[in-house]
Structure 1
Amino acid sequence: MQSYIEEICQKQVGAERDYKEEWSAIRYLVGEKIFAMIGTNGEGKQIVTLKCKPERAEQYRLEFESVIPGYYVNKTHWNSVLLEECDVPKDVMERMIEESYELVFSKLTKKKKEQLKA
């Protein structure tokens, strides 16, 4: 699932990948803002953390057991997905990644958005 997630993240316009050593996490950013992070939680379980509208975040948590409140981030606006126990279908995971990207992209300045689209 991780390679699929990375593939979807890399498709997003202006997406950049880096590795945050202190967090032992792969981050995907747009305009220097994180929209996806792949790492582990406090129990050592592999997770992906994605931004989400609060009402959608709760909906995903109710629908899928592997979707939990964001690990080590604002739990209202972020969800984490336990990848080893993932019950989220690929098409839904893709939508979650795209929603996260759009939320972050929408907050960028007009100038930054134009630069990324060029």
Structure 2
Amino acid sequence: MSEPAEVPDVDPWMMDVLSRLPGAQVVPYPAWGSQTFQVGGKHFGRLGLHPSGARIITVKGDPDVNAALVAQFEAVTPGYYADKRRWISIEVDDPAMPRDVAIEALETAYALVRQGLPKRVQASLG
């Protein structure tokens, strides 16, 4: 059995976004060598490494919006190790990738997962 991978540090800009999302948590996931982003115990994103070595965030999204982002940006691909329609992966260190697109993707992923939580859990988040 292999050793768990080291998990990457979450960038300050990501932490800033996550701090504005009520109930959002960063949960290390050493078995995947990643940090997961969760709300109400459900994953809405993950920071990890693509096999190419690129740092990526993989986030949930609307399938049509995801397809448009994949078509528009080289740094956006169908979700690595995830449902290829509902998840996308974004190379966060690609200089051609606008930071605001990655921020919006994180916020959208959070909103999608949050709205799927039971009403009592949503209410407890504030």
Please give the TM-score of this superposition, normalised by the length of structure 1.
Answer: 0.91
Write out aligned runs for 1:19-34 (5 A): 19-34=28-43
Question: Which piece of structure 1 moves more, 52-61 or 88-97?
Answer: 88-97
Query: What TM-score, normalized by structure 2, do the two folds share?
Result: 0.86
- Could you list the runs of 5+ residues in structure 2 that have no partner in the other structure? 1-9
RMSD across aligned C-alpha pairs, in angstroms? 1.5
Query: Could you tell me which residue of structure 1 aligns to residue 92 of structure 2?
Result: 83
Whether the 8 Å CA contact 2:90–2:102 is kept in 1: the answer is: no
> What is the rounded CA distance, in whole Å, between the counterparts of 1:28 and 1:90 in structure 2?
18
The gaps in structure 1 that reach 5 residues or longer are none
SS of match in other structure, 2:117: coil
Please show how residues 32-111 of structure 1 align to structure 2 within 5 Å.
32-111=41-120
Percentage of matched positions with identical amino acids:
28
Shift in Å, 1:23: 0.7
1:105 Cα offset (Å): 0.4
Alpha-carbon separation, structure 1, partners of 2:83 and 2:12: 25
Native 8 Å contact 1:40 1:47 kept in 2: yes
The count of residues paired between Structure 1 and Structure 2 equals: 117
Q: CA deviation digits over 1:10-36, x for unaligned, max 9?
A: 321101111001011011100001112
1:11-26 mapped onto 2 (5 Å cutoff)? 11-26=20-35
The equivalent of 1:9 in structure 2 is: 18
On the 8 A contact 2:76/2:88 being kept in 1, the answer is yes
Taking a change above 3 Å as real, the CA distance of residues 35 and 66 of structure 1, as seen in their structure-2 partners, is same
3-state secondary structure, aligned to 1:8: helix
Change (3 A) 1:63 1:51: same
Question: C-alpha distance in 2, partners of 1:91/1:47?
Answer: 15
| Higher helix residue share | 1
Q: Aligned pair in 2 of structure 1 residues 44, 90: CA closer, same or farther (>3 Å)?
A: closer
2 CA distance for matches of 1:59 and 1:74? 16
